Amino acid sequence: MGEELHTRAELDDDWICGRLGEDEPWIMGAVHPPVYENSLFTFRTAGDLAEAIKDEDERYVYWRGTNPTVDLVQRKLAALERTERAKCFGSGMGAIAATISSLVSAGDHVLVLGSVYGPTTQFLRYLGKFGVTHDHVGDPDVLDSAIRPTTRVLYFESPSYMRYDVVDIAAVASWARSRGLVSVMDNTWSTPIFQKPLTLGVDLVVHSLSKYIGGHGDLVGGVVAGPSRLIRPLALTEYQLYGAAMSPHDAAKVVKGLRTLPVRMAAHQERGLAVARFLAGRPRVRAVHHPGLPEHPGHAQALRQMTGFSSVFGIELDTDDRAEVAAFLDRLRHFRIGVSWGGYESLANAPALTTEESVRATMGIPVGFVRLSVGLESADVLIEDLALALRRVDRLA
């Protein structure tokens, strides 16, 4: 790629998503990059193979290490996050587990700020059997009292999982760096289109590619992005040994998802805000947790570090009755009931029906909490669907 195009790519997310790494003509004028589905790569001489194995992070030897189709995705994602390297995994948890494992040893401590993805917490608990401990803190103001001499990592999300609290990313990253910690942030909610934590001082960023970046509910994948000094050791050890490599077929789906990511995120933002505004102040809705609403306590901070808002947010129904929450979900017709989010389809999920009470209590999530993922259907249709569901709850009260 020429220097002029490289400079343009660094400044233009649309160009990165659609064209970065795709400047060479494909065979027969194909409009999509080829999928390299072979499991291994051969060499002309034994010496060539020996040299390649010395640097398997950079050379194509075996699918579990490197693959041209996956490499294309990694180049795009690193450029979107404005960093040097990215490594894709077969799932978001694959990326998260490998990232945390690469940064800790027996006896080390991980500090978690705010609410984070449930399986991330489960993984940190699992690490306890190897002598790695962790603590959760809900307020950045108490980080100093929670840090230990053995703390190595600060892990957080912004907006936070389920609660959608907004963290001052630059301040938290600066705090971590001044104390010798590696900061890791899950940026799945915003995508690199709306938020770039690495430019605010965060050391490593992880994503679930299954959500907005893939965007079509047809793949599971994850990525970690950051400077080469942190990504390269991870790529040579945890990536290889955990066996969580992304398949080239899933990588090809990510390439297609990236091509429409800027357009889809703009549509998600528009529809999500329309639905959130409708729900705010409705008689049977106690609260709407969407950072894009001016009344959200983190709205001002969000505007300082984000360029847009995705369409996953929480509402609190005015009820403490699980039956009423279930009735609300059952009445929905255009919102499907299910986990995950980020695709065309709109989804609804209620933690009170799926999550242990002790876990919800730790996260501060009430019985009436419902998570909505606004898809790409008409906002008017979705609003009508929610209005009818709220009427059903009203009749049951």
Strand, coil or helix: 21: coil
Structure tokens at 75: 């180049």
Task: Choose the catalytic residue: 13, 57, 76, 117.
Answer: 117
What's the rounded Cα separation, in Å, for the pair 298 and 360?
A: 21
What is the Cα–Cα distance from 343 to 341, expressed in whole angstroms? 6
Residue 194 zone, left/alpha/beta (φ > 0; ψ -120 to 50; rest): alpha
Query: Is 211 an annotated catalytic residue?
Result: yes
Strands in 338-396 per DSSP E: 346-349, 369-373
Q: In this structure, are residues 336 and 364 in contact, taking their beta carbons and an 8 Å threshold?
A: no
269 phi, psi to nearest 5 deg: -60, -50
| CA–CA dist 94, 90 (Å, integer) | 6
Task: Give φ, ψ of 185 to 5 degrees.
Answer: -130, 135
Q: Which helix (H) or strand (E) holds 176?
A: helix 169-178
8 A C-beta contact, residue 335 and residue 347 = yes
Catalytic: which of 165, 186, 203, 250?
Answer: 186
Q: Are 219 and 90 spatial neighbours (Cβ–Cβ below 8 Å)?
A: no
Catalytic residue among 85, 152, 196, 211: 211
How far apart CA 137 and CA 339 sit, in angstroms, is: 26
Q: What is the DSSP letter of 181?
A: P
Whether 117 is catalytic is yes
Which two tokens mark 40? 């291994």
Active-site hit among 64, 163, 336, 392? 64
CB atoms within 10 A of CB 167: 22
Question: Which residues, including other chains, have CB under 8 Å from residue 1's CB and lie 6 or more apart?
Answer: 9, 20, 21, 23
Active site residues: 64, 117, 186, 211
